[in-house]
Amino acid sequence: MTTEEKKMMQPAQDYIRKLQQNRNAGTDDCMLSSDLAREMGITAPDLHHYLIDVGFLFRERSTYELKLSKDYAGLGYAKTRSHFRYSQKGELIETRFPVWTEKGQEYIKDLIQGKGTNKGKKVKK
C-alpha cells in the first residue's frame, strides 16, 4: 500500500475505530471466551460447544453469531462486543460476540465443574 493510499484510508479507519470504541464501551472489565477457556485448560471452540450443548448459548441462524439463550439473557452474565471488518465486496461487516462479566465467568466455571445449575436442562456428556 502506498503512502497516498494510506492517507486515503485514514478517515475510514478512524471512523471504524471510533465506532468500535463506542459499541464496546463498558466491556473493559469483561473476559473473552478464549481467555476464560485458557484459564480452564480448554479451547474457546470447546467452551462454546459445551455452552451451546447445555443451552446457555446459541448461534443466530442468519449471522452465525453467538448469543445468550433467552433463559440467561439479562441476568448479568455477559455483555456484547463488536468487531468490524470488510467483506470481499468491500462492505463493512459488524460481528457481535459475548464477553463474560465476573458473574458470568463464575457461573460458567461452576457449570463446567458440575457445581452449577443449567435451569434443569440435560447436559450432553
Taking the CA atoms of 106, 108, 110 and 116 in sequence, report the sign of the dihedral they define: positive
**Cα–Cα distance between 27 and 81 in angstroms, integer?**
7
pLDDT exceeds 90 at position 113: no
Secondary structure element (H or E) that encloses residue 99, with its range? strand 92-100
Its pTM stands at 0.81
* CA-wise closest residue to 12 among 91, 81, 88: 91
Confidence of residue 122 (pLDDT cuts 50, 70, 90): very low
- Rounded to an integer, the average pLDDT of 12-20 is 91
Per-residue pLDDT reduced to its tens digit, 63-103:
889 999 999 999 999 999 999 998 999 899 999 999 999 99
The residues spanned by each domain of the chain are: 3-112
